[in-house]
Structure 1
Amino acid sequence: MFCPHKNSYLQLVCAMNPRMINKAVDKAMERSEFDPHCETPAAQRMTSMQPSLYAPHVDITRAKLGFGRIGLKLLIRELHSEDYLVQLQAIHSVLDQVQISENALFLLKLHVVYRLIDLMDHKDPVIREKICLILTLLATYYQGRKQIMSRPVIIDNLLYIIVRDRKEIRYVAAATLRTLSRDRCSCELIMKNEKVIEDLLKVVKNEHSSIVLLHLQTLANLAAWDPTRQLKANAFQIMLSLFTDRDPKIVSAAMDCMTQLCKDDIGKILADEYDITFYLRPYLMSKNIEVIISAVNLMAYTTLTTRSKWRAKECMRLPRRLVELCHTPNKPVLQLGAMQVLMNLCDIPDIRYNLRLNLDKNVKSIKIRYHEDWDGTTETSSFGLETGHNYRTMSIEKVETIKNDYGDNALVINVHSYLRRLHELKARLIYAIHKKPYRH
C-alpha cells in the first residue's frame, strides 16, 4: 500500500488495471518492445522515478488499497494496530494526507485527533514526533483546534514532551503549542492549565535557540490574552535577561513578549523600575531590522508613564534617532512605532521644543508609501511574488503581517486602512509638535 509519487501507503483508485491499458496501447501500435513495468510482477522503476525518501519497510511495487474515503477509514483503524510496522506505516500516511485540505477535513470528521492524542505517550520516538507534526497541521483548521482543545490532556502531554523528551521531539511539540496559542479561544483553554506558564518559563532559560524562539512566540500569544500570570512568574525579568542573547531572533521575540507584558499596569511599573526606555537606546542602532522594530514597538508602551518620559528627556539624541527611523517608507510597521513613540514624548515641553526647533522639517518630509507598492507585510517583495497579497491571512510563516493587537478578535487590517492610519498619525504628530502652552 504505497504510492511512490506521494510517499504514502495508499494509491489512487482506478477502475481498470493501468498495466492493461499500457498493454493494449502497445499492441495497437505493434510495438516489438514492451514496458517491463506492465509485466507481472512489476519491475523496479528507475531511480529517477522513485522518491528520495521512503517510509520504512515498504515495497513500492505492492499496492493494494486506493486513496479515497474507504481507504482513509481503514487507515484510521490501523493507527491502533497491534503490529508495530502497520501502525508506523499508517501514521506516515496520515501525515501525508493531512497536507491535503480535503483529506484533512475528512479525517477530522472521523475524529482522528482523539486517536492521535491517545498515542502521544507511545514508547517509539518516531511515532511521537509524527503525531506532533500531524497535530500542528490540523491545528491550522478551526475544526482541528476545536477537537484538539476539547481534550485538555493534550496540554499536559505537550508539556511532558517539552520538558523531558529528546531535542527533535521537543521542537515539534513546541511548534504544536505555538500553533494552538495563535487562536484566542484556544489561549483561554491553554491558560486553564496550572503548569503551562511556569514550565515554559523554566525551559526558556537553558534550551536550544530554535526551541526558545517557539516558546517565546507562545508566551507572547498567551500574554496577549492574560499577562498577569506571567508577571507573577517573573516573566518580565526572564525576558529582560534574554535581551543580551547572541541570536537577534531571540532578542526580537523577547521584546515582543515584553511588549505584551507592558500593556498591563504592573508591567508599566516594572518597566519604570528597570528603566527599560533608557535600556533600549542601543537596540535602536542595531544592525538587525527585526530587533529595531521590536524595540520601537516596546518603547511605544514603556513611554506612556510620566517617569519614563522624563527619563527619555535625559537623552536628547533619542528624538533624532526616532525621526530617522520614521524615514523608512519600505517598513511601515517601523514608521508607525517610531511616530507613536514621538507622540508619547511630545508631552514633555523640552522634547517638544527640540523637535519644533531642530527637526520640524524632517518630520514634515516623512514619506509614506502608496498601497500599490506594499502587499501588507513588513518584508517587501518584487511584485508580491514571495508573499503575494495575503495580508488578509491570519498567519504567514516568517513574515510579520499587520494586524490589530487589541480587541476580542485580532483581525488583519487591509493595506488602505493601515496607510490611512499612518497618515493620520503623522498629522497628529505635526500638530503635537507645534502645540504651545496655554499661556502663549
Structure 2
Amino acid sequence: MFCPHKNSYLQLVCAMNPRVINKAVDEAMERNHFDPHTEPPPAQRLESMQPSCYAPHVDITRARLGFGRVGLRIINRELHSPDHLKQLQALHSVLDQVQISENAMFLISLNVVYRLIDLILNRNPVIREKVCLILSHLATYYQGRQRITSRPEIIENLMMLFLRDRKEIRYAAANTLRTLARDRCACEMIMKNGEIVENLLKMIKSDQTGIVLLHLKTLERLSVWDPERALKANAFQVMLKLFRNNDPRIVGGAMDCMTQLCKHEVGMKLADMYDLTFVLRRYLGSRHIEVIIAAAGLMAYTTLTTQSKWRAKERCVEITKRLVHLCHSPNKPLLQLRCMQVLINLCDCPDIRHHMKMHWEIKVKDIKIRTHEEWDGTSETTSYGLENGHNYRTMCIEGVETIKNDYGDNAYVVNVHSYIKRVMEKKQQLIEAIDWKSYKI
C-alpha cells in the first residue's frame, strides 16, 4: 500500500487489499484519518513528491515493496524489474528512503549505486531525473562517493545529460556533478575526463541561471584541484564576461571561480593584463552583499603583484575609504577578514601606506570584532542579506560558508574561537603593516 506520511510503497505480500485493512482499523479506533495531501493548504507534500517529470498511470496497489531492511532489499532488486511500473515505484521509494541517513547507508551497502548508474541513461526521462536526484543524496556520504567514483563512466554519462537533455534533467545532472566535486578525491577522478572543463565552460555561456550557478560551483572546486586546465580553456575570459551579468548570484559565483584561477601565476599575469583591480573597484559598492564579499576575496589575490598595487595607488583615496568602511561590519566576519587582507596587500606600496597612516590609522584601530557569543561560525547568503544561525551540517547545504579547521581529526568541524582569533590576528597584522617602516630610526 502507499503511505502518504512516509511517501513510500510499504507493502510486502498481502492476501487482501491493504486499504481495506487500513479503513477497518481506522473505524475500530474511531479515528478521523488526516491526509496532508488533500487537506488545505494544498502544498503540504514532501519535496520528492514534486518531480519535474511525472510518471503516468501509477497504480499504487500493484507494488510489492516493503518497509525496513527487508523492504529495502526488495526495492533494490525491483530497480531492474522487467515491469516498468514496478521499476518506477521502486525509484520513487528509493528517492524518499535516502532522505533517512540509516536507510541511505544500508542502500549504499547493498550497492544500489551501481544499479542506479546502469539506469542513468534510460530512455524514460522520469528515470533519468530520479536517478540523478538519488545519486546527489548518496554523494553526500563518504561511502556513497567512494562507490560512485569507482565507476569513471558516471562522469561521461552526467556530461551527456547536462549537454543534451531537457532542462529539468540538466539541472539534476549538474547538481549531482557539483555534489561529487566537493570531495578532493572525486575531483581527481572527474579531472581525468579530457572534456569536462571545456564542456562546463560551454554550458556556462548559454544555459539557464540555476544550472549556470551549479556549473560555476563545480568549476570552482575543480579549479582548486587543477587551475591549469581551466586557464588553458580560457576560463579567465569567460568569468570576466560573467561579471556583467544581471544576476548577482552569477557575478559572485564567477568571482569565486576566478579567485581560484588567480592563485596560479598565469592567472595573476592575466589579472594584471586585464587590470582586474580596477574592474573590481566598482563592485565593492554593489547593492548585493554576496557580490561585495566575492569581490573582496578576489581582490585579496589580484593585489599581490607590484603592478596592481601601483594601479590601485591612482585611486588610493576611493579604494582605501571603501575598504576601511567595509571592515566596520562586525556581523560579517568573512567580509572583515577579506577586506583587511586587501589593505595589508596594498600597504606594501609606500604611498598607500602613508595615506593609511595619515587618514585611517585610528579608524582601523576602532574596528569591532564579534565575540564567540554573538556568532556561531556559519553564515548563509540570502536575498535579504547575510543570516547567521546554528547549522553544523553545512557540507550538504548550498549557500552556507563554513569556517573550518585546517588540521586535526575534525577538519570540517566549525570552530568559532579559532576563527575569531584569526580575525583579531588579521587586524593586528593590518595595524603593523600601517606602522611598518622600510628603515630603522
Q: TM-score, normalised by structure 2?
A: 0.88
CA distance in 2, matches of 1:127, 1:273: 48
Alignment CA distance shift 1:254-1:7 (3 Å): same
- SS of 1:280's equivalent? helix
**Mapping of 1:14-33 within 5 angstroms?**
none
Tell me by how many angstroms 1:69 deviates: 1.6
- SS of 1:70's equivalent? helix
Which residue number corresponds to residue 180 of structure 1? 180
Which residue number corresponds to residue 295 of structure 1? 295
Which residue number corresponds to residue 158 of structure 1? 158
CA distance in 2, matches of 1:225, 1:406: 19
**Mapping of 1:92-103 within 5 angstroms?**
92-103=92-103
CA distance in 1, matches of 2:338, 2:11: 53
CA distance in 2, matches of 1:88, 1:342: 57
Alignment CA distance shift 1:232-1:26 (3 Å): closer
Tell me by how many angstroms 1:412 deviates: 5.2
Alignment CA distance shift 1:12-1:287 (3 Å): farther
Give CA deviations for 1:383-406 in whole Å, capped at 9, x if unaligned: xxx864335743432322224689
**Mapping of 1:225-304 within 5 angstroms?**
225-304=225-304
* Conserved 8 A contact 2:375-2:388: no
Alignment CA distance shift 1:136-1:395 (3 Å): closer
Which residue number corresponds to residue 360 of structure 1? 361
Alignment CA distance shift 1:68-1:25 (3 Å): closer
* Conserved 8 A contact 1:312-1:318: yes
Which residue number corresponds to residue 48 of structure 1? 39
- SS of 1:330's equivalent? coil
Which residue number corresponds to residue 306 of structure 1? 306
Tell me by how many angstroms 1:21 deviates: 10
CA distance in 1, matches of 2:121, 2:320: 55
Tell me by how many angstroms 1:26 deviates: 7.5
1:402 aligns with 2:403: yes
CA distance in 2, matches of 1:36, 1:256: 54
CA RMSD of aligned residues (A): 3.1
Tell me by how many angstroms 1:353 deviates: 0.5
CA distance in 1, matches of 2:110, 2:171: 28
CA distance in 1, matches of 2:157, 2:434: 55
The amino acid that maps onto 1:101 is S
- SS of 2:436's equivalent? coil
Which residue number corresponds to residue 171 of structure 1? 171
Which residue number corresponds to residue 191 of structure 2? 191
* Conserved 8 A contact 1:283-1:291: yes
Tell me by how many angstroms 1:87 deviates: 1.1
The amino acid that maps onto 1:261 is L
Can you give the 5+ residue segments of structure 1 that lack an aligned partner in the other structure?
38-43
Task: Report which stretch shifted further, 393-402 or 158-167.
Answer: 393-402
Which residue number corresponds to residue 438 of structure 1? 439
CA distance in 1, matches of 2:336, 2:356: 17
Which residue number corresponds to residue 41 of structure 1? none
Identity among equivalent pairs (%)? 65
Tell me by how many angstroms 1:47 deviates: 3.8
Give CA deviations for 1:166-185 in whole Å, capped at 9, x if unaligned: 11100010000000000111
Tell me by how many angstroms 1:288 deviates: 0.2
Tell me by how many angstroms 1:45 deviates: 11
Task: Report which stretch shifted further, 151-160 or 394-403.
Answer: 394-403
Which residue number corresponds to residue 334 of structure 2? 333
Which residue number corresponds to residue 107 of structure 1? 107
CA distance in 1, matches of 2:168, 2:241: 26
Which residue number corresponds to residue 40 of structure 1? none
- SS of 2:331's equivalent? coil
Tell me by how many angstroms 1:20 deviates: 7.5
CA distance in 2, matches of 1:288, 1:165: 33
Which residue number corresponds to residue 320 of structure 2? 319
The amino acid that maps onto 1:273 is M
Tell me by how many angstroms 1:260 deviates: 0.5
- SS of 2:8's equivalent? coil
CA distance in 2, matches of 1:206, 1:25: 55
The amino acid that maps onto 1:318 is I
Tell me by how many angstroms 1:380 deviates: 9.0
The amino acid that maps onto 1:433 is I
- SS of 1:367's equivalent? coil
CA distance in 2, matches of 1:396, 1:25: 39
Can you give the 5+ residue segments of structure 2 that lack an aligned partner in the other structure?
none
CA distance in 1, matches of 2:178, 2:36: 41
* Conserved 8 A contact 1:339-1:425: yes
- SS of 2:368's equivalent? coil
Q: Would you say how many aligned residue pairs link Structure 1 and Structure 2?
A: 423
Task: Report which stretch shifted further, 3-12 or 131-140.
Answer: 3-12
* Conserved 8 A contact 1:303-1:345: yes
* Conserved 8 A contact 2:11-2:63: yes
Which residue number corresponds to residue 128 of structure 1? 128
* Conserved 8 A contact 2:394-2:400: no
Tell me by how many angstroms 1:191 deviates: 0.6
- SS of 1:400's equivalent? strand
Alignment CA distance shift 1:26-1:232 (3 Å): closer
Give CA deviations for 1:86-132 in whole Å, capped at 9, x if unaligned: 11111111111111111111111110010110111111111100000
Alignment CA distance shift 1:412-1:300 (3 Å): farther
The amino acid that maps onto 1:356 is K
Alignment CA distance shift 1:12-1:3 (3 Å): farther
* Conserved 8 A contact 2:75-2:90: yes
